[in-house]
Structure 1
Amino acid sequence: MIRRRRPRGLRPLLAAGAASAAAVVAVTGLTGSVRAEPQLDVAEARRQVEILYHQAEQATERYNDARISLREAEGNFDRTQRRAASQQAEVAALQSSVGAFAAAAYRNGGLDRTLQLVFADDPDAFLERATSLDALTTREAASLRKVVEARRELVADQTAAAQHLAAVEAQRKTLAVEKSQVEQKLRAAREVLNRLTARQQSQFDRASRSDPRTMLASLPIPETARAAKAVDFAIKQLGDRYVWAAAGPDAWDCSGLTMMAWREAGVSLPHSSRLQFQTGRKVSRAELIPGDLVYFYSPISHVAIYVGNGLMVDAPNPRDRVKIRPVTDMPWAGATRP
């Protein structure tokens, strides 16, 4: 049987064809595996962004809570440190004051055991063995008792300082975690918005804007001078940027704005929507008057200042600015009157 030989000239062509086919398959497979994300419409983008902004605001308010707790822990640590240092100086002075008769007693061998207890690591052991003071004069016994009491207070202060320092470190870690959460959610929101076309982003922004002029024209006058100052301050910030954890002068988060508005009226509030809700008298929705603080979501993560006619001023989110809008825009949680 005669086998026909494939023409030698076809081999390079066949090899090239196979390579081309493989390349086509590879490209096709690559194209199929790296598909572009489907284009979002404005409504779906708004839904996703609002969820992410809400999650970012929850983390922001937790961050604000942790920052308050950190300041408290740092204050407690500083106070106990100062108290321990003062107590240490007092112990040294008292031990020095009993040094003369302590040395004599040691030389005489009569009070060696007692003095060991006085200067031991466990000052309470001394007081438990109070009968060993019988050999001392009243004045000497009183001096030794002062040393032991001072040392006991020093140990308590040092222990408290260590506990407060641990609390400081824990709050610093919490701050770092919440900051990371805020930044992660805001980054995700930006990624969603970046998928919109320029025209869609313009639509998105137009839908978020409100014209405050018509809303402000018929607002009622607040009932008290303090409330009037708080409302006036908030209204003057309309158009300012939202920045998480900010409290002015030109950028705000929600609780930073309400805190500074009422500070202008002479009332001190914490920089936290949750803690602000715990301050002041609770009022119902039907009782609202200008100046009241209104809260949203459960757990509470947003606060605004009520200005009348069913409207509030608040710092909404990074895509928006301080604005005036209806209190019905978000899930209601309660209200307080500072």
Structure 2
Amino acid sequence: MAARRLTALTLTAGAALLLTSTPALAEPKPSLEQVQRQVDDLYEEAEADTEQYNGLNEKQGQLQARAGTLQQEVATQQDQLNRLRETLGAVAAEQYRSNGVDPTLQLMLTADADGYLEGAGLQDVAAETQVETLRRLAAQQRKLDQLRDETAAQLAGLDQARRAAAGKKEEVQAKLAKVQSILNGLKAEDRAKVSAGTAGGGAAASRSSSARMPYSGPATGRVKDILTFAYAQLGKPYVYGAAGPNSFDCSGLTLRAFAAGGISLPRTSQAQFGAGKAIARDQLQPGDLVFYYNDLHHVGIYIGNGQLLHAPRTGKNVEIVPYDVMPYAGAMRY
């Protein structure tokens, strides 16, 4: 019995020793293609957040402008109200002075009976003026109160928009910081491939071009102005929230390019999609805008021959690529 107990203890100790001496299996290291996919996904999420940030910034600017207009109107209405109050006070004071003496005694004491009678007639006019002034004063006060309420609502909305934009900006920065952390953990050669978007083996990325060149195509009029501006931005860096002159995000580039052609577009890609006339894919012409992804968070300018000029993402520059390198969502003409 003692021998069996000793054997069992020996086996248990040996098993424990084997378990403690066996090294833990390491997590498999992701392939470069997997890293590329992770980075690309983060960039896409950051760009989608960027368009939301742009929309919140645009709303903030609109609210700020409206609040400023309302504040000026409140000041104007307050000034008019003060003037009405002064007028009413003057009328009341005049009536007090006129009614302070018995009318018969006033007639007896005055050396100018005609003047007195004229003044008595003016008292009736003054009474009517007082009533009208009171009406105007009450209406002016109501209008001023409404303006103040509207101004307070606009300022509250402005504060909410500011906080929402700041939160969205933090989300963008967090995703970009995560990308940078991933890149920092790669060897220099691999980092360059992932940064260029070529580590996944995609041929489309290798066909992109950001070389600076002037527009020399057949377009005329507004379209030529749009494309001339867009071509002049080739090679400039993508920066989220930027709309030139030294850097752009995707909708910032289209916004400025179309402004060069005399066409005013909204700030975000989603709003730009809603501002144009839908064009079938096989009807694309130079100067049309092409939109990508289900949420329309990316936009570029079709330049003809199956090519797109766009501001791609953080870490890359304004470039020309085949227009089908991203999930196509639709096209618009303006």
Normalising by structure 1, report the TM-score: 0.76
Answer yes or no: is the 8 Å Cα contact 1:234–1:313 preserved in 2. Answer: yes
Residues 97-144 of structure 1: CA deviation (Å, up to 9, x unaligned): 011344577999xxxxxxxxxxxxxxxxxxxxxxxxxxx933221111
Residue in structure 2 matched with residue 293 of structure 1 by the alignment: 289
The residue that corresponds to 2:248 in the other structure is 252
Aligned residues: 283
3-state SS, counterpart of residue 156 of structure 2: helix
Asked if the contact 2:214–2:232 (Cα under 8 Å) also holds between the matched residues in 1, the reply is no
Name which of 75, 95, 105 aligns with 2:85: 95
What do residues 216-274 of structure 1 show as CA deviations (whole Å, max 9, x unaligned)? 9998522x411111112212222211111111222110001111111111112222111
CA contact (8 A) 1:42 1:196 kept: no
- Of 147, 153, 165, 2:155 maps to 165
What is the distance in 2 between the residues matched to 1:102 and 1:291?
70
Q: Using the TM superposition, give the Cα deviation of residue 57 of structure 1 relative to its aligned residue in structure 2, in angstroms.
A: 0.5
String of CA shifts for 1:38-90, please: whole Å, max 9, x gaps: 53322111111111011101110001000110011001101110101100011
Query: 1: CA distance between counterparts of 2:176 and 2:167?
Result: 14
- Paired residue for 2:75? 85
Amino acid at match of 1:67: N
Cα distance in 2 between the residues matched to 1:336 and 1:184: 33
Instruction: Note closer, same or farther for the CA distance 1:218–1:254 as it changes in structure 2 (3 Å cut).
Output: closer
**Match of residue 266, structure 1, among 262, 278, 300:** 262
- Indicate which of 243, 246, 250 corresponds to 2:239: 243
Change (3 A) 1:218 1:305: closer
Report whether the alignment pairs 1:302 with 2:298: yes
- Out of 203, 207, 212, the residue aligned to residue 210 of structure 1 is 207
Query: What SS class does the counterpart of residue 98 from structure 1 fall into?
Result: helix
- CA RMSD, 1 decimal: 3.0
CA–CA distance in 2 between the matches of 1:218 and 1:86? 52
Amino acid at match of 2:228: D
Task: Check whether the contact 1:219–1:307 (CA below 8 A) recurs between aligned residues.
Answer: no
CA–CA distance in structure 2, aligned partners of residues 36 and 315 of structure 1: 40
- Secondary structure of the structure 1 residue equivalent to 2:324: helix
Distance 2:158 2:318 in 1: 33
In structure 1, the partner of 2:35 is: 45
Residue 284 of structure 1, CA deviation: 1.6
Distance 1:206 1:169 in 2: 39
In structure 1, the residue matched to 2:218 is 221
Distance 1:286 1:75 in 2: 42
- Measure, in 2, the Cα distance between the counterparts of 1:76 and 1:89: 20
Secondary structure of the residue aligned to 1:230 is: helix
Q: Which residue of 2 aligns with 1:68?
A: 58
Q: Secondary structure at the match of 2:146?
A: helix
CA displacement 1:148-202 (0-9 Å, x = unmatched): 1111111011111101100110110011011001001111111222232222223
Give the counterpart letter for 2:240 in structure 1: W
How many percent identity over aligned positions?
A: 34
1:219 touches 1:308 (CA, 8 Å); kept in 2?
no
Structure 2 spans left out of the alignment, 5+ residues: 1-19, 99-125, 199-204
Alignment of 1:99-178 (within 5 A): 99-102=89-92, 137-178=127-168
Query: Is contact 1:221-1:290 (8 Å) kept?
Result: no
Kept after mapping to 2: 8 A contact 1:210/1:323 = no
The answer to whether structure 1 residue 200 and structure 2 residue 190 are counterparts is yes
1:238 to 1:100, Cα distance in 2 relative to 1, 3 A: closer
Contact 1:230 1:291 in 2 (8 A): yes
TM-score by length of 2: 0.77
In the TM superposition, residue 321 of structure 1 has moved relative to its aligned partner by 1.3
Distance 1:96 1:218, change over 3 A: closer
